[in-house]
Amino acid sequence: MGAQNDKELLARVSARDLQAFERLYRSFQPRLVRFLTNILQRPQLVEEVIDDTMMVVWQSADKFRGSSKPSTWIFSIAYRKALKARARWPDPLPDDETDMQVSTDPEPDEQLQHQRLRDALREAMTHLSPEHRAVVDLTYFHGMGYREIADIVDCPVDTVKTRMFHARRRLKQALAGNFADWL
């Protein structure tokens, strides 16, 4: 869904159009789940922050000025809410996410290696700060440019680049031992 569609939906949301809000929610919820899970690493907190974020969108859509993309505005709300939620729950839980993939592939070594890689990557992410995880996720998964990310996390663009640079180095260092060939 493009930014123009999102803008039209936001305009309808500001007029209390619940169906437009559902469309907006369904468009953003998967992305916010992903983004917030990376920052917060607690499923229950993720739900809470998504709900709070989208409630702000529902209640404040008329305040959206249109100077940025709707996605920038919504992600920036989510980011602020996530950092606040994190302040209330400062200690991250151990990563208990498990890959439920059942392999039917006759080459278990390859599958196993892939799963181990993903586990290692997930584990490496937990050692980054929430601020670094946010930049990594917005870049790699959400496909955002560094200027948009700077707007979302409210910091200079050079800080975004620096965070990304250090995060990449940390991730690659974490994978270098067992996955040097992959890198």
Residue 18 interacts with another protein (CB under 8 A)? yes
Rounded to the nearest whole angstrom, what is the least distance from the CB of residue 10 to another protein in the complex?
Answer: 16
Residue with tokens 């200079």: 156
Stretch that binds another protein, among 60-68, 77-85, 87-95, 134-142 (CB under 8 A): 134-142
**3-state class of 44 per DSSP?**
helix
- CA dist 39 and 83 (Å) reads 8
Rounded to the nearest whole angstrom, what is the least distance from the CB of residue 90 to another protein in the complex?
Answer: 25
Rounded to the nearest whole angstrom, what is the least distance from the CB of residue 21 to another protein in the complex?
Answer: 8
Residue 108 interacts with another protein (CB under 8 A)? no
Residue with tokens 């490496």: 124
Which is nearest to 85 in space by CA: 30, 32, 48?
A: 48
User: Is 178 in contact with 120 (CB distance < 8 Å)?
Assistant: yes
Q: DSSP assignment, residue 35?
A: H
Structure tokens belonging to residue 64: 């959206």
User: Is 95 in contact with 126 (CB distance < 8 Å)?
Assistant: yes
Stretch that binds another protein, among 62-70, 74-82, 126-134, 155-163 (CB under 8 A): 155-163
Residue with tokens 């180095």: 169
Which is nearest to 181 in space by CA: 135, 127, 107, 116?
A: 116
Restricted to residues 23-82, the positions that interact with another protein (CB under 8 A) are 25-26, 29-31, 33-34, 47, 50-51, 54-55, 58
Residue 156: Cβ within 10 Å count: 9
Choose which of 12, 69, 80, 168 interacts with another protein (CB under 8 A): 168
Choose which of 63, 84, 116, 118 interacts with another protein (CB under 8 A): 118
Nearer to another protein, 1 or 93 (CB): 1
Residue ranges binding another protein (CB under 8 A): 16, 18-19, 21-22, 25-26, 29-31, 33-34, 47, 50-51, 54-55, 58, 101, 103-105, 107, 110-111, 117-118, 121, 136-137, 139-146, 158-159, 161-162, 164-165, 168, 171-172, 182-183
